[in-house]
Amino acid sequence: MTRRIAIAAGGTAGHVHPALAVADAYRAHDPDVEIIFLGTADGIETRLVPRRGYPLRSIPGAPLLGVGLAGKARALAALIQGVAAARGILRTARTELVVGFGGYAGAGAILAARSLGLATAIHEANAVAGVANRMLGRFADRVLLGFPSAAADFRPEQTLITGFPIADTITAATRDRNARPEPNTLHILVTGGSGGSAFLNRHAPVLLARVASGGLTLAIQHQSGTNDLAAVRAAYAAAGLEAAVSAYLDDMAAAYQEADFAITCAGAGTLAELAARGIPALLAPLASAALDHQRANARAYAAMTDSRCAPEDAWNVDELATYLIDLAQSPGALAAAGARVRAAARTDAAHTVVEALEALLGA
């Protein structure tokens, strides 16, 4: 019997990439599976999903948090419209199961599936569950978790810790951190996720200028997001540093392959990918993240990997520059840090999710 699966994901790359990783893993498990994606008409999913060969259907959805009373009314109206649209799509596709990975379309898709009596699952990527997933957890048959700490927000019998699904292209290539191609050059990746980090855009050039003044040669790749692109390039130029600054990095596998160290926010996807590649990092959780979930992610990840965490309200450029210089110049320290990070990786997360979904359908 042909499996028919719908995946709801959108808004940010952090929602879409794990959904695509699971879709690819499902195809590897069952080449005949039929998968459709549900998203909104203006999210990053409109670019990422068709590129990977999956059909994308748009349903209404709107943000619920931080939008005021009028915005909440619009979100409720969009949710009602989204449920109605999703019901029609799921019926036409004869879908058996809907799994949500976050994004504005997720609530409508899960509620529509529930109303049709379909199997449902959600994936919570972060160390603390978001408001939407806490609500959807009341309706989902299965809740799949990236961090064990998020289990506190759901019923124990419905949760399974899977880790964060990442693409095989990320996990396939690894590098011996003891054998750096340019031993006198430290390759630094700065990334704030798909939207960029205004904080890192302002402070990373200053920090790296201080590090370079300590005698290190740096090769810098900085993903800035679209808003600060010109300003970040100017900041590096003013600091006398050469840096490849991009609004968005399409080929993260290549960026990770070059990196000896990362300065990054604490999105769940970025942390999972760094662990898979064994790249030590300085974590600067995004202060504006909903429910301060990136700080929780950073704390949980730092506890597992012994990574350095420097929240925006505790950023000390002198201390951090000394930390980076010592790490780079101490023999074997960088490789040891990478090994600790790699030990925390769950590179089989996408396949674990597929197994959980198959078990749910089998039940």
Dump pLDDT digits (tens) for 217-239.
Answer: 999 999 999 889 999 999 999 99
Which amino acid is located at 41 in the chain?
A
Please give the tally of structural domains in the chain.
Answer: 2
Q: Are residues 138 and 197 in the same domain?
A: no
309 and 356 fall within a common domain: no
pLDDT score at 129: 93
Helix, strand, coil distribution of the chain in percent, nearest 5: 50, 15, 35
Q: Are residues 221 and 98 in the same domain?
A: no
- Do 284 and 153 reside in the same domain of the chain? no
For residues 144 and 197, state if they share a domain: no
Q: So what's the pLDDT on residue 171?
A: 80
* Whole-angstrom distance, CA of residue 259 vs CA of residue 184: 14
Model confidence, pTM: 0.91
Pair (289, 235) in one structural domain: yes
Largest CA distance in the chain: 64
Containing structural domain, residue 141: 4-166+347-362
Give 2-32 pLDDT, tens digit per residue: 999 999 998 888 899 999 999 999 999 999 9
CB-based contact 100:122 (threshold 8 Å)? yes
Residue 34 burial class via C-beta count within 10 angstroms: exposed 0-12, middle 13-18, buried 19 and up: middle
CA distance 340 to 306: 7
pLDDT reported for residue 75: 75
CB neighbours of 103 closer than 8 A, spacing ≥ 6? 8, 9, 10, 11, 12, 15, 16, 39, 40, 43, 45, 61
Beta-bridged to residue 217, according to DSSP, are 185
Q: How far apart are the C-alpha atoms of 205 and 227, rounded to whole Å?
A: 16
Q: How far from 313 is each of 93, 122, 199, 317, CA to CA, in Å?
A: 49, 32, 10, 12
Q: Write out the two tokens for 53.
A: 């060969």
pLDDT given at position 33: 97
Based on C-alpha coordinates, what's the Rg of the chain? 21
19 and 156 share one domain: yes
Do 206 and 337 fall into the same domain? yes
Residue 201 has which token pair? 């855009």
Residues of the chain with pLDDT under 70: 63-66, 173-183, 363
Answer yes or no: do 146 and 31 share one domain: yes
Measured between alpha carbons, how far is residue 6 from residues 98, 164, 236, 237, 296 in Å?
A: 5, 19, 44, 47, 30
Pair (186, 276) in one structural domain: yes
Same domain as 158, residue 26:
yes
Q: The domain spanning residue 109 has which CATH number?
A: 3.40.50.2000
Amino acid at 30: D
Same domain, 106 and 218: no
